[in-house]
A and B are shown apart, each in its own frame.
Chain A
Amino acid sequence: KNEVEQSPQNLTAQEGEFITINCSYSVGISALHWLQQHPGGGIVSLFMLSSGKKKHGRLIATINIQEKHSSLHITASHPRDSAVYICAVRSYNTDKLIFGTGTRLQVFP
């Protein structure tokens, strides 16, 4: 079993829909990252959080440390949000980043 699991693996949505991507992990962590990978391949860091909630524009990330779970929400989705979203956790014990396999999101007009 992977130490970081994301769901769903694939997601399609109509423009304007509210999107939720989930991440569950099984190790102790010091931080959790949400990353975005566009079709061209480049990876951009969206959020880094260790507790609570962060918001940036239409993106919201939450984390529940007790439940070892994080969610990434996209409000009013747009075709330009189409990308692969990757959850990664920094292991408290090893200090290494452990990556999920990503959620492929496609938003249609």
Chain B
Amino acid sequence: EAQVTQNPRYLITVTGKKLTVTCSQNMNHEYMSWYRQDPGLGLRQIYYSMNVEVTDKGDVPEGYKVSRKEKRNFPLILESPSPNQTSLYFCASSFVDSSSYEQYFGPGTRLTVT
């Protein structure tokens, strides 16, 4: 089954404790992206990657890191989480081909930083 998986689905942590949210897709997509969703603000892009070893900042990259060592995986790293990073996070992937930009979303990770 074609899918994007994220782990963990729920996470409660404390300020400053490094964490990683994993994202994996099995559709051989070149493009992967991380979004955060906050009430009243819609989805905002954190980082994206056009292919292996190619990453770039989105609209709200501060406090986050990513890496793309393999095509299928795109982990999101919070080196020192803060309460303002409490949010619902989505990973998404798609082909880069201009005729097919449909995005596939992971199930979401609800993060609470206390």
Contacts and interface: CB of A to CB of B under 8 A. Distances in A.
The B interface, classified by DSSP as helix, strand, loop or mixed, is strand
B107 A86 contact: no
Given A41-B88, A41-B108, A96 B45 contact: yes
A42 B45 contact: no
Contacts of B110: 41
A59 interface: no
Contacts, number: 49
Contacts of B84: none
The A interface, classified by DSSP as helix, strand, loop or mixed, is strand
Interface string A80-109: 000000101010000011011110000000
* Interface range, B side: 20 to 34
A44 B106 CA distance: 9
Interface in A35-75: 35, 40-45, 48
B102 A88 contact: no
A12 interface: no
* Interface range, A side: 20 to 34
A42 B108 contact: yes
A42 B88 CA distance: 11
Contacts of A100: 42
Contacts of B42: 2, 4, 86, 99-102
Given A43-B90, A45-B103, A102-B42, 17 more contacts: A30-B98, A30-B101, A31-B101, A33-B101, A33-B102, A42-B107, A43-B92, A43-B105, A45-B102, A88-B43, A96-B58, A96-B59, A99-B35, A99-B43, A100-B42, A101-B40, A101-B42
Interface of B: 33, 35, 40-45, 48, 58-59, 88, 90, 92, 98, 101-105, 107-108, 110
